[in-house]
């Protein structure tokens, strides 16, 4: 069992706050962890440790920083089943999805390990004679990292790994609902050889611990994933102290089905995108836009497939969807179901709790038909297994509907037409576009992020994710011999 506490300056410590009891969302009789939570004083100690460690860490050659991450990836691979099982017990997603998440996080560690050999700038021509011009990347300083509960392993990996390889030290606040999986990651990085003070974790509330990290003058760079209201406040706080900030927030992702689509493949994409991880992902398919010519057939297939899904404990290998994470999220989901009914949408699947699944927060995957752009279920992020269906008659109408929300994270299109696919890639207002596959997913070497109210700041993952934690320095070297004069710039 991983440590249950905070990690500050290379030591596991008991926070000064009250003990937090976390339950298995699929079995409320099981206490997964009891965490003594951190207070502001603990966060201040963590920031001080990171600040003190930074001069040493930034001086470590980038390839060596990368080798530590590569060792962490190797250790994590040997513990894949253990981490995935812990993740399922703590967050609720089915074991197959948990294993996929752990592998994705390992891929991020691997990729960033390799970036230790590729971290650099450019050599560019100078206007002046006898002058060499170039850029180099240097770490910014102490990084404050705040992660969500829905991906408690991979999201910390894709934030912490690039910060470390770039040469930043880290103060990390995991989500209060899933600190045990985060502790496992910290233990692995410690085992891989990360020096004391370079990575610090404080488990506590956003209002106290998170606020301390965000507002402290020593945290020069901030990376956040979570809700729009919290992200907006964090961005404002970062701007006031001129910190570099990236926030990945909400999504209301559309999946478009054209009349020439492979309907069986499209249904698979809707099921995986809409109900995978119980719909609790920012890239989840939450709006289905279907051409009127194929709508009846598609919905017939979709309702049958949705109704056949087995909802249950994620550790049961026959379960196809786990519970939602906690009572608050279940209440949100049920509230939106009632809102949709009140607005006159037609319930065609689910809509209630799954009593047969056991003592947990189980909700049947839910589909509403007849969603218009004016409906709240069309516009607002639910973050649960609740899908809104709309119809269209032309490609232009589909794009207008898809782009008719404030968010712009991910998107998907099912078609057999290369022309339509290319038009969609150009026209969709989103940071990521998928053709003939679900709206979910990302890869370690590719940038991740969105537009509009989905996010601000640089993209995460890929080369861009590492560069975010650096600042550029431009260098001029004049090598004219004594007595010679170079042309003035």
Structure confidence by residue, pLDDT tens digits, 198-220:
999 999 999 999 999 999 999 99
Q: Which of 112, 247, 282, 453 is catalytic?
A: 282
Is residue 282 scored above 70 in pLDDT? yes
Looking at the fold, whether 414 and 272 belong to one and the same domain comes out as yes
Tell whether 449 is covered by a domain: no
Nearest to 32 by CA among 225, 154, 183, 214: 183
Looking at the fold, whether 156 and 281 belong to one and the same domain comes out as no
Looking at the fold, whether 466 and 421 belong to one and the same domain comes out as no
The boundaries of the domain holding residue 209 are 6-249+454-474
Give the pLDDT confidence of 144-197 residue by residue, as tens digits: 999 999 999 999 999 999 999 999 999 999 999 999 999 999 999 999 999 999
Q: What is the pTM of this model?
A: 0.95
Q: Name the DSSP letter for residue 15.
A: -
Is residue 459 scored above 80 in pLDDT? yes
Looking at the fold, whether 134 and 272 belong to one and the same domain comes out as no
184 is catalytic: no
> What's the CATH number where 127 sits?
3.40.605.10
- Helix, strand, or coil here: 26? coil
Looking at the fold, whether 65 and 206 belong to one and the same domain comes out as yes
pLDDT recorded at residue 414: 98
Looking at the fold, whether 155 and 272 belong to one and the same domain comes out as no
Looking at the fold, whether 267 and 343 belong to one and the same domain comes out as yes
Looking at the fold, whether 20 and 148 belong to one and the same domain comes out as yes
Tell whether 483 is covered by a domain: no
Tell whether 326 is covered by a domain: yes
Tell whether 127 is covered by a domain: yes
CA distances from 237 to 140, 212, 225 (A): 18, 11, 15
Give the pLDDT confidence of 17-63 residue by residue, as tens digits: 899 999 999 999 999 999 999 999 999 999 999 999 999 999 999 99
- 80-91 and 62-78 are packed helices; what angle lies between their axes, rounded to 10 degrees? 80
What DSSP letter does each residue of 186-229 carry, written as one string? HHHHHHTTPPTTTEEE--S-IIIIIHHHHH-TTEEEEEEES-HH
Looking at the fold, whether 163 and 121 belong to one and the same domain comes out as yes
Looking at the fold, whether 232 and 359 belong to one and the same domain comes out as no
Looking at the fold, whether 276 and 315 belong to one and the same domain comes out as yes
The residue behind tokens 């099981």 is: 30
Q: Which of 90, 248, 354, 391 is catalytic?
A: 248
282 is catalytic: yes
Tell whether 100 is covered by a domain: yes
pLDDT recorded at residue 1: 80
> What's the CATH number where 351 sits?
3.40.309.10
Give the pLDDT confidence of 28-39 residue by residue, as tens digits: 999 999 999 999
- Structural domain count of the chain: 2
């Amino acid at each position: 069992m991983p440590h249950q506490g905070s990690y500050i300056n290379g030591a596991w410590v008991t926070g000064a706050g009250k003990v937090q009891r976390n339950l298995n969302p699929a079995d409320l009789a099981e206490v997964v962890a009891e965490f003594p939570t951190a207070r502001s004083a603990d966060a201040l100690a963590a920031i001080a440790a990171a600040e003190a460690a930074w001069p040493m860490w930034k001086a470590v050659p980038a390839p060596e920083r990368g080798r530590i991450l590569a060792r962490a990836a190797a250790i994590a691979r040997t513990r894949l089943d253990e981490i995935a099982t812990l993740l399922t017990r703590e967050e609720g997603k089915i074991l197959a999805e948990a294993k996929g998440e752990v592998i994705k996080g390992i891929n991020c560690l691997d990729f960033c390990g390799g970036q230790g050999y590729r971290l650099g700038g450019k050599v560019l021509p100078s206007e002046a004679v006898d002058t060499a011009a170039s850029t180099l990347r240097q770490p910014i300083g102490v990084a404050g990292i705040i992660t969500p509960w829905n991906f408690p392993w991979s999201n910390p990996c894709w934030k912490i790994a690039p910060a470390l390889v770039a040469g930043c030290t880290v103060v990390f606040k995991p989500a209060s609902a899933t600190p045990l999986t985060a502790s496992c990651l910290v233990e692995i990085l410690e085992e891989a050889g990360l020096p004391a003070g370079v990575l610090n974790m404080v488990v506590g509330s956003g209002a106290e611990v998170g606020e301390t990290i965000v507002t402290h003058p020593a945290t020069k760079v901030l990376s956040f994933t979570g809700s729009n209201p919290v992200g907006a406040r964090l961005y404002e706080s970062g701007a006031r102290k001129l910190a570099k900030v990236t926030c990945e927030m909400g999504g209301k992702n559309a999946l478009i089905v054209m009349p020439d689509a492979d309907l069986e493949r499209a249904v698979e994409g809707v099921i995986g995108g809409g109900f995978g991880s119980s719909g609790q992902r920012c890239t989840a398919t939450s709006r289905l836009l279907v051409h009127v010519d194929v709508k009846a057939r598609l919905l017939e297939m979709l309702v049958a497939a949705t109704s056949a899904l087995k909802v249950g404990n994620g550790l049961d290998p026959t379960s196809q969807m786990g519970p939602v994470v906690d009572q608050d999220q279940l209440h949100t989901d049920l509230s939106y179901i009632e809102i949709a009914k009140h607005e006159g949408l037609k319930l065609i699947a689910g809509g209630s709790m799954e009593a047969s699944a056991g003592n947990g927060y189980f909700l049947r995957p839910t589909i509403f038909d007849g969603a218009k752009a004016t409906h709240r279920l069309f516009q607002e992020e639910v973050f649960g297994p609740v899908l809104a269906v709309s119809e269209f008659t032309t490609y232009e109408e589909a794009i207008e509907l898809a782009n008719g929300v404030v968010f712009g994270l991910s998107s998907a299109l099912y078609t057999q037409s290369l022309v339509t696919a290319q038009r969609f890639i150009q026209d969709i207002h989103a940071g990521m576009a998928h053709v003939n596959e679900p709206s979910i997913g990302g890869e370690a070497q590719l940038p991740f992020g969105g537009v509009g109210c989905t996010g601000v700041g640089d993209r995460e993952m890929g080369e861009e994710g590492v560069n975010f934690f650096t600042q550029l320095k431009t260098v001029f070297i004049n090598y004219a011999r004594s007595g010679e004069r170079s042309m003035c710039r």
